[in-house]
């Protein structure tokens, strides 16, 4: 495996799981004060479009990483309104 | 321009600017309570690695979108510590 490929995979893993610590913080604090719901709405549209892009190009890594990201950011948006 | 291409560009624009509303919220509230700094650290590492990946592949769209994203997420992390 090439160095470039390894960097690409690592980059994909980090950007995919980024919302996870924010979800944990929200559940722990039972609050989402100062967290922007618009940020997560824009993220959901963005990674949702990337997922559609992946489906149209039949590109599995794009579908899987952005699919997971859509679910995580969607969960976070749900928490923002739950703890409002 | 193909539909797939347009979806890809839109997806890129949305994921690139996502941190902007969170930055505006932080500056307006002068607070970042319940905002996870770990989320932004992971995002910076992720989009930073995507930028390096873009440089190694000489792929300008990847460099520009992730470069902007690195600056925006870096600014947000700075605000989290400033308003702590």
ipTM (interface predicted TM): 0.93
**If interface means Cβ-Cβ distance under 8 Å, which residues of chain B face chain A?**
3-4, 7-8, 10-22, 24-26, 29, 31-36, 38-39, 42-43, 45-47, 49-50, 52-53, 56-57
Q: How far is CA B1 from CA B5, B6, B22, in A?
A: 7, 7, 32
For chain A, give every domain's residue range.
Answer: 3-82
Chain B nearest C-alpha distance from A30 (Å): 9
Distance CA B18, CA B68 (A): 11
Distance CA B74, CA B54 (A): 19
Give the HSE-up count for residue B59: Cα atoms under 13 Å, Cβ half-sphere: 13
Q: A57: how many CB neighbours lie within 10 A of its CB?
A: 13
Please give the structure tokens belonging to residue A40.
Answer: 């997560």
Domain B3-82, CATH class in plain words? mainly alpha
pLDDT digit string (tens) for B18-65? 999 999 999 999 999 999 999 999 999 999 999 999 999 999 999 999
End-to-end Cα, chain A, rounded Å: 46
Residue A1 CA, chain-centre distance (Å), reads 26
pLDDT digit string (tens) for B56-71? 999 999 999 999 999 9
């Amino acid at each position: 495996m090439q160095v470039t490929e390894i960097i690409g995979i690592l980059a994909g893993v980090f950007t995919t799981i980024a919302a996870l610590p924010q979800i944990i913080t929200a559940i722990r604090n039972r609050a989402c004060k100062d967290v922007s719901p618009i940020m997560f709405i824009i993220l959901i549209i963005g990674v949702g479009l990337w997922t559609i892009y992946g489906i149209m190009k039949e590109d599995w890594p794009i579908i899987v990483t952005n699919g997971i990201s859509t679910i995580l950011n969607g969960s976070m948006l749900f928490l923002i309104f739950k703890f409002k």
